[in-house]
Amino acid sequence: MLEIVENFSSEGYEDILNSHGGKPVHITEALERGKKTGFIAYSYGAERAYILALDDGGDLMLCDGLVRSVMFKASLKGMNCIEFELSDEGMYENIRKLKFLTGDSRICGNIGRFMNGCADCKHK
């Protein structure tokens, strides 16, 4: 069973933590039977969350779950915007397939739309 849990240790993530200029960075990991299958690194600003690194192993559904976990946490803080600051340009492919971003934009400006997007699915 897949679990998405926050990791409070910096072990193994030192490069990510050091490359973001001292911003407090949070790490959430995807675990399958206790084995890490992916992660997302993010931070919070005054008005938006920033996704700094992502490893979904090429799994589109895992990418969706990891990004939505950050969206959920940001929405709990009253934020409605996420900015992607990924250094790996290849990671944007899945993010755009999932329609978190359109065109060349790096900003997802309506978290509520994504969080409620499937609310009517059961009626279809």
Q: Output the pLDDT for position 8.
A: 86
Percentage of the chain lying above the pLDDT 90 cut? 56
Residue 122 has pLDDT above 50, yes or no: no
Which pLDDT band, with edges at 50, 70 and 90, does 123 fall under?
very low
Give the DSSP letter string of 31-89: EETTEEEEEEEEEE-SS-EEEEEEE-TT-HHHHHHHHHHHHHHHHHTT---EEE--S-G
Model pLDDT for residues 15-29, shown as the tens digit of each residue: 888 887 777 899 999
Which pLDDT band, with edges at 50, 70 and 90, does 88 fall under?
confident
pTM of the shown model: 0.87
CATH 3.40.630.30 fits 2-113, yes or no: yes
Considering the chain, what is the average pLDDT of its residues?
Answer: 87
Domain ranges for the chain, please list them. 2-113
Buried b (16+ CB within 10 A) or exposed e, 87-105: eeeebbebbeeeebbeeee
